[in-house]
Amino acid sequence: MNSSLASDQRYNAVLRTLHWLVLLAVVLAVLTIQLQDIYAKGTPGRLFLRASHYAAGFSVLVLMTLRLLTRALSHAPAPVPGARWMQTSARLTHLALYGLMIAMPILGIASVLLAGKPVDLYGFVLVPPFGADAVLSRSLKNIHETGATFVYILVGLHAAAALWHQFVLKDNIFRRVL
């Protein structure tokens, strides 16, 4: 099929860059928290990984906000041609990814603040603006951890669909974001 899509079939350079920076920040957020168990509680290594999780997770929020603003203020390419069910499922997956990537950092930050602990974000320390509430903090942490499972499922489905388009349908879909 067409190997050189016209520029109006690609996201603009800012959106393309932000797409991959979000992926990088998500991978770092997941790796840092999953690796923390190699260190015992309270050790510098574990605290470093925890702080890195907060920083990477907060970067997702910053990048997604920039991405939503750029997306709203600029022209996006028309959807990839295809069956209606494919277009609808792609649209729903993209919407869910936007929602999840905004909600996850907010839930994470809120759960730490509600535990009565400060959150250090790139050296800028957020102190709890409200009193501690251990029960609410625990619930938000649980939702955050369940949300992580949805991150794996949605990013997996999204990447698998992109690979299917690229290598089976051969419609050069990667060109839209590369």
Give the integer Cα–Cα distance in Å for 134 and 17.
39
Residue closer to ligand HEM, measured from CB, 136 or 148: 148
Using the rule CB under 6 A, is 151 a contact of ligand HEM?
Answer: yes
Using the rule CB under 6 A, is 30 a contact of ligand HEM?
Answer: yes
Give the integer Cα–Cα distance in Å for 13 and 18.
9
Using the rule CB under 6 A, is 155 a contact of ligand HEM?
Answer: yes
Secondary structure of residue 81 in the 3-state scheme: coil
Which residue among 114, 119, 140, 171 contacts ligand HEM (CB under 6 A)?
Answer: 119
Residues 114, 130 contacting (CB under 8 angstroms) = yes
| Least separation in angstroms between CB 71 and ligand HEM | 5
Residue closer to ligand HEM, measured from CB, 136 or 162: 162
Chain centroid to Cα 91, Å, comes to 16
Footprint (CB under 6 A) of ligand HEM, residues 8-27: 19, 22-23, 26
Total residues contacting ligand HEM by CB under 6 A comes to 40
Residue closer to ligand HEM, measured from CB, 76 or 134: 76
CA-CA-CA-CA torsion for 152, 154, 160, 164, nearest 10 degrees? 180
What pairs with residue 124 in β-bridges? 121
Using the rule CB under 6 A, is 143 a contact of ligand HEM?
Answer: no
- What is the dihedral sign for C-alpha 126, 130, 134, 135? negative
Using the rule CB under 6 A, is 98 a contact of ligand HEM?
Answer: yes
Chain centroid to Cα 120, Å, comes to 20
Give the integer Cα–Cα distance in Å for 178 and 174.
6
What does the binding site for ligand HEM look like in residue numbers (CB under 6 A)?
19, 22-23, 26, 29-30, 33, 53-54, 57-58, 60, 71, 76, 80, 90, 94, 97-98, 101, 104-105, 108-109, 111-112, 119, 141, 144-145, 148, 151, 155, 158-159, 162, 173-174, 176-177
